[in-house]
Structure formats: structure tokens, C-alpha cells
Structure 1
Amino acid sequence: MSLRKNIVLLTTKYADEKKDAWLTNELAYSMSEEGNDVTVVVFSWLKNEPESVTKVIDGIKVIRIKLPSIFYSSGVIGTGLKIFVFPFLARYKIAQEIKCCDLLIANTPCVTILGMSRFFRKRYNSKCFLVLWDFFPFYLKDLGAIRNKLFFGFFRYLEELMYTSFDRIGCMTEGNARFLFENFPSVSKEKVQLLPLWAKIKKIEPVDKSKVRKRYNLPPEGFVAIYGGAMSIVQELENILELAAMYSKDEVTFVFIGKGTEKDRLQKAVATRGLQNIIFIDYIPREEYEHVVQSCDVGLISLSRKLTVPSFPSKSLDYFKVSLPILASLDSVTDFGDILENGVRGGYAVVAGDAAALKAKLDMLIENSALCAELGRNGRHYYEKNLSVENARSIIISLL
């Protein structure tokens, strides 16, 4: 790109340190490395997230906005207040800090950025690109968090307003795009394109697996399956507990890394059931996390059987990156399983709740190290070819 552009990335998730870099960080770095002026506006959506501050991090101006604590009460009322107050406060802060913007890049959930695309278009005459990762009201409805039809209809209406306000929408998969068209018919198909998840592609240096395993009390020689990421009702991790219960400690060790609303309950369930082959590890820095993943034998993905929205789990990138085969327990509507098995050829997927089928696939991996290696190589190849941040950047920047 020959001309320097002013780009604003609007998100609710952005790491303050490079060692914890997430997708939004990688995109901001890539845009900046191409010679653009990049500003990141981060909404501290949760109560325990950082306070309002403006600072330069890794050469990128980051404006973090947090509301007074009174707006972080739980439940629908608290969420509703944040939905309407955040954008008003953000407009004021953005007007102070940002003088011009050629391109706004925002990611879902849309209700967190209500009206921001129209604000940027009116104030800066900027183009607006939406990265569509989830459909907020449908997830909550699927999981029982929204039972009132009026509330659901209201949030769905807000989502549709936001979709129609963007110049371009990037969907993770074909299934994701079909869901958008079927449930939001006012969205023009011409403005939608595929935008796969992304990562900074880099060579992975080998690690001393025995040392890493020893550091985290993992068996030095045994088969280890790892789940890394959020532990919430979205994942329905009971499916992994059911799988673990079918093996002894000497056969397979299951490792859970991360935090979430379901973690305490899962730990209690493990203790109650007397499962000796499950290890929980709290948050660790991303680079160290990658070393742990690299020292395991299979990467686990789990999604609730109740979900009706196709998705592409971001944790798959961590597994593809280090050539780890994937075993996934998925809802019946997502197209990720087909992509994994037939597009990537990097692992296996079964419908959530079928513990016997899940065990059969894991047995195949345990018994065939050559198969594991082949699936891992395929995943890495797909990652390098299709999931680079440069690919995502070129798709998004083409809007200008």
C-alpha cells in the first residue's frame, strides 16, 4: 500500500503486553508495520479489566475506556446500561484523541459498539469494516441466558442495525456467512466476504518437552491431551470430563489451562468423581503457553451442543501453529468439523455428547503416532497457507 492511512481498531479485547498478544494485537501490529498510523480503542467491558488510560504500547496508541463501577452490575440491566453508555463516552474520548480516520475496523459483538460506525463515518468520513466473530443474542439464547422473546428481539434488532451500517463484513466461514444471510435478510450479500481467523506466522523452535512437562507436573512419557482457553457454558467441558473418565491416569492425562466462570465447578466435579488424570493450570503467558501446547500430543476443542451458530474456534490456531492434531467435540450445526477433517485434514470431530465416538477417535490417535504427526503437519500447512495476519490485513485494507 503506497499511501499512509489512519486506521482505528475498535475492540473489547486487546493485550497490553506483546507476550500476551491476541488476534486484535496481531492485526494492529501488521497494519502498523505496513506504515499506517494505527490507534486502538479498547472498551473495558468487564469489571476486572483495566481503568481508562491513553498510552503508547509497542509503538501503537491505545485508548482504553472504562465506565464507572456502577455500570458493571450483573444481569440484563447492567448489560443494557453498558450498551448505551459506552458509545456515548467513547464518542467524547475519541473526538478528543483522534483527529482523522480513513478506516475503522471493529469486531463483534455488535452491541458493544452501538452506533460507532455511523459516528466514524459522519465525523471522519471513514470506511468501516466489521470483523464478525459471533452473533451475540443467538449465543445467549442458545445457552439460556436470554429467555425473554422481547429482550432477544431487541438485541437482534440492534445487531441488524449495526450490520447494515458497515461498508464491509468479514465472516470466518461459509457457514458463518449463511447464518448471517438467513437470520439478517436486510444485510446485502455484496458487502460480505470470507475473512478467516489470523495469526502472525512464525517458525516454531523445538522445545525440550521433558523439561516443560516436568515444570508443570505432566507425565514425562505418557499421552497428554490439552484444552487451552475459556471455561464457560459455551464450551460444555463436561464432555471432556466424560472422556477423561474413560481412561486411567497411566493411559491419558488431560490438561486444562485458563480461567472462566465454569472453572470452579469443573474442579469440584473432578474432585467429586475422583478423576486422577486431570490437571488444571491457571493462566500462563502466551509464549510459555505455546511451549506447553507443543509438549502435548493432542489439542482439544469443545463447544456446547446447544449452539446454533457456526463458528471457527480461535484456539485451533494455537494447535495448528505447533503442529498438534485436534480432537473436537462440537455442536451439530457448525462447519468447523468439516473444515477440520476435510479442508485441513488436521484432526477429528464428533457431535457433542457422543462420548463413545470421542473416545474412539482419541484411541486412534493414541495408538498411531505417525497419524498424529501427519495430522499435525497438515494443520501447520493450512495455518501457513490460509491463516496469516497478512492475508487478513490485505482483505480488510482492500476496502480503501
Structure 2
Amino acid sequence: MKILYLHQYFNTNKEAGGTRSYEFSKFLSEDNEVTIITGSQNYIEGILKFRVISTKTKYNQQMNFFQRIYSFFHYLIKAIYLGNKEREIDIIFATSTPLTIGVPALILKRFKKTKLIFEVRDVWPDIPVELGFIKNKILIKILKWFEMKIYNSSEQIIVASEGMYENLIKKGVKSYKIEVIHNLSNVYLYDQVTEIEKNIERKKYNLEKHFICIHPGTMGFVNGLDYILDVGKIIQEKDRQIKILLVGEGKEKERLKARIRNEKIKNILIMDSLPKLEIVKLIKTSDLGLMITKKFKILEDNSANKFFDFLAAGLPVLVNYGGWQKKVLEEFKAGYGCSPDNPKEMADKILMIKESKEKQQLSKSAYELARKKYSTKIACEKLNNIIKKIEK
């Protein structure tokens, strides 16, 4: 069977960013012919079992609104052209964001007379509408119409959380069409990090004697990382051994750096983004994972990669929002939820975990949760069941 995989932001383990599509592609290529059309301009690692074709679409977190719109349209036009050249396609697998990935998916589905699996990683246009990025009522109506067009045209829809599932059900999507596959805990990557490598990481960043809290990922408006700076200010008055690492890129990065300098926050280190294999080592070396967002209800349904990375590494996790992740952490005793309005609560939790014997149990629970519920193997088995279902 031949699968055409559409993902604008495809990454391998040698690149920075999420690798869900990479893991799925490796799995699918064991029994199928897989071709990926991506916008990434990076060289693809080694000899892969699947083909990767690039539209060479420029994109980065510093782009303004109009540059991003151009990027989305550049990818979709070239994806249609390249996809139409492929022969004998049985299934199109399209993963969002952006929602515009649905354009080549629907057009190629019609051209090739094939079946479509659409994967929803963030529910659009709900997120940009609720966050106030899209305000034009006519545009919102068009986007919502297009969203439902994609859902109705798909044989199967994959969502990354139960909250997203409920969102689609409320919109009238039939439940039999929707399957939940959470993001992946790449446990095999974290299990291969040795104690020697962890010691090397600590020496590399002068963190040999520190308790390390880490937040990898985008530094944008919705991430609300001023909250972490507030946490850091509180902690540095009480414990000089705690260090907080912010790793990644984004529009807020330079402003956050300036605030750290101006307010003399000495226990926070802002670092550039790292390839997956490197960030794995740094997360595994850390003691505690932090999950932060702005206070928007819609963001509680997210399925951020860092959450599953923390669990795979056996890190206790603190979140400053509600929703399913907070519920899971507290149910399985792998971390805590904190108030989005009270950085002191998170600061106190960090200080408590550092000094408490409870850290060992929290780490053990996180480690077991990743392997029993969110491993790559479990996610791929669910995907395999979906493929078999639409083959019939």
C-alpha cells in the first residue's frame, strides 16, 4: 500500500522540533511505501525507509503574520503539484497545523480518488480565534466552514487529546470517525542516555551542583514565559542551587533575555533550540519539567511534545494550567498543577520537590506512565488499527 504523508514541519531526530511524523513514518514504512511532502529545507538524516520530498518552504518562529500566510500558501501550492506527480496512492495522511494543510489534502484526495486520514494536533481555527489573532467575522466563518469540510471528507480523524475529541464531537463530527492518539513518549531515546552523558551535559553548562528545571519549546506570546521569570525571581531569594533552563526560539526570546538582564534574574538560562537527540540528553539530565501557557481555556486541550518528553525521561512535571494533563499528573502522582495567577505556588512546589524524598516517587511514576500509556509503540499500534479499519 502507498501512503502520501503531508506535513509541512517534518523533523527527524537530528533536527529541532517534534518528531511524531518521523516515528509514524518509520512504523508505516515497515509494511507500506511511504512518501512525505514537507516544507523543511533541512537535509534528511541517513538512508531512510521512506521518501522525503521538500517544497523548500521558508518558515521560522520570527516571521510576522503576512510572512507566515505566504509560507502556508507556498507549501500548499507546491504540495499539490508534487503530490499530483505521485502514482497509485492508497491513503493520504495529512497532519495539521496549519489548517491550510487541508487544501492539498482535499485536492489530492479528489485527484487521486483515495482515502484521507486527517490528524488534528491543534484545533484550528478555534485557537487563533480565542486568542484574538483572527477577529474578522467573515474570515472566521470561512475557516470554520473549511474545517468542517475537511472533517466530513476524511475517512478517519486523529486527535491528540480527549479535549480535542470532545471539541469535534460538539461540532457534529461522528464519533466513529475520531480516534485519540496522544503525542509520543520516545522512551527508546531516553533509555539510551547514560550517566556519563548526563555528567557531560552538566559540565557543559556549568550545572554540576544545581537542581535543574527545564522548559524546552517555543518562546511566543501564548507560552506566557514571564510566569517562569517570576518564579525564578522568587526562588533565587531562597535557594541559589536551583537553575531554570528555557530552550528554544520565538518572538518573545529577546524580550525575555532583556527582562532577565534588567531585573538581575541570575538563576534562569535562555538557550537556543537543540536537535532532538541533544535536547533528549539535556532533559534527561534535568530534575524537573515545567509546562507553562497563557491563561486560555482552549490551550488546556493541547498535547505538547515536552510533556511526553518529561515523562519519558522520568521527570516530575509542574503545569500552570488545568485540563487533561494536570488531571493525569495528579492521578498518577507524577507531578502537580499550579495556579496560572500565582507564580509563588509553582516556586514553592519546586522548592518542596527539591528538598523532599517525594521526588524519587514522582520520577518513578512519570517513568512508568510514559511506558505504560504514551510510548511510541502504543501510539503506532493505535495508528495501525486505524489503517486496517479504513482498508476494509
TM-score by length of 2: 0.87
Structure-2 separation of matches of 1:259 and 1:217: 22
Structure-1 separation of matches of 2:26 and 2:58: 30
User: Where does residue 36 of structure 1 map in the other structure?
Assistant: 32
Structure-1 separation of matches of 2:55 and 2:179: 30
Q: 1:11 aligns with which of 7, 32, 35?
A: 7
Question: Which residues of 2 match residues 85-100 of structure 1 at below 5 A?
Answer: 86-96=75-85, 98-100=86-88
User: Where does residue 257 of structure 2 map in the other structure?
Assistant: 267
Find out whether 1:347 has 2:326 as its counterpart: no
Structure-2 separation of matches of 1:307 and 1:389: 28
Structure-2 separation of matches of 1:364 and 1:190: 45
Structure-1 separation of matches of 2:257 and 2:364: 33
User: Where does residue 292 of structure 1 map in the other structure?
Assistant: 282
Find out whether 1:24 has 2:14 as its counterpart: no
Q: For each residue in 1:71-124, what CA deviation from the matched residue of structure 2 results, as whole angstroms up to 9, or x when unmatched?
A: x98435x5555555643432221122x112222211112522233333343333
User: Where does residue 136 of structure 1 map in the other structure?
Assistant: 124
Identity of aligned residues (%): 22
Q: 2:364 aligns with which of 377, 380, 393?
A: 377
CA apart distance, 1:6: 1.1
Q: 1:335 aligns with which of 320, 324, 328?
A: 324
Change (3 A) 1:317 1:67: closer
Structure 1: which 5+ residue stretches go unaligned? 45-49
TM-score by length of 1: 0.86
Q: For each residue in 1:16-66, what CA deviation from the matched residue of structure 2 results, as whole angstroms up to 9, or x when unmatched?
A: 56465711111111212x23211111135xxxxx28x99985232111114
The answer as to whether partners of 1:16 and 1:57 remain within 8 angstroms in 2 is no
Structure-1 separation of matches of 2:58 and 2:292: 35
Question: Which residues of 2 match residues 215-364 of structure 1 at below 5 A?
Answer: 215-218=204-207, 220-248=208-236, 250-309=240-299, 310-330=301-321, 332=322, 334-342=323-331, 344-364=332-352
What amino acid sits opposite 1:24 in the alignment? Answer: S
Structure-1 separation of matches of 2:245 and 2:72: 36
User: Where does residue 171 of structure 1 map in the other structure?
Assistant: 159
Structure-1 separation of matches of 2:281 and 2:302: 26
What amino acid sits opposite 1:269 in the alignment? Answer: R
User: Where does residue 108 of structure 1 map in the other structure?
Assistant: 96
Structure-1 separation of matches of 2:45 and 2:195: 35
The answer as to whether partners of 1:55 and 1:63 remain within 8 angstroms in 2 is no
User: Where does residue 184 of structure 2 map in the other structure?
Assistant: 198
Name whichever of 55-64 and 78-87 sits farther off. 78-87
Higher relative contact order, chain-length normalized (CA < 8 Å, sep 6+): 2
Secondary structure in 2 matching 1:287: helix
The answer as to whether partners of 1:320 and 1:380 remain within 8 angstroms in 2 is yes
The answer as to whether partners of 1:117 and 1:166 remain within 8 angstroms in 2 is no
User: Where does residue 354 of structure 2 map in the other structure?
Assistant: 366
The answer as to whether partners of 1:322 and 1:380 remain within 8 angstroms in 2 is yes
The answer as to whether partners of 2:247 and 2:273 remain within 8 angstroms in 1 is yes
User: Where does residue 149 of structure 1 map in the other structure?
Assistant: 137
What amino acid sits opposite 2:376 in the alignment? Answer: V
What amino acid sits opposite 1:91 in the alignment? Answer: I
Change (3 A) 1:199 1:68: closer
Q: For each residue in 1:214-258, what CA deviation from the matched residue of structure 2 results, as whole angstroms up to 9, or x when unmatched?
A: 10122x222111111111112101111111010126141111111
What amino acid sits opposite 1:393 in the alignment? Answer: C
Q: For each residue in 1:307-343, what CA deviation from the matched residue of structure 2 results, as whole angstroms up to 9, or x when unmatched?
A: 424112211121111111111112x4x322112211x
Change (3 A) 1:251 1:390: closer
The answer as to whether partners of 1:204 and 1:322 remain within 8 angstroms in 2 is no
Change (3 A) 1:109 1:286: closer
User: Where does residue 150 of structure 2 map in the other structure?
Assistant: 162
Count of aligned pairs between the two proteins: 378
Structure-2 separation of matches of 1:290 and 1:55: 17
Change (3 A) 1:262 1:80: closer
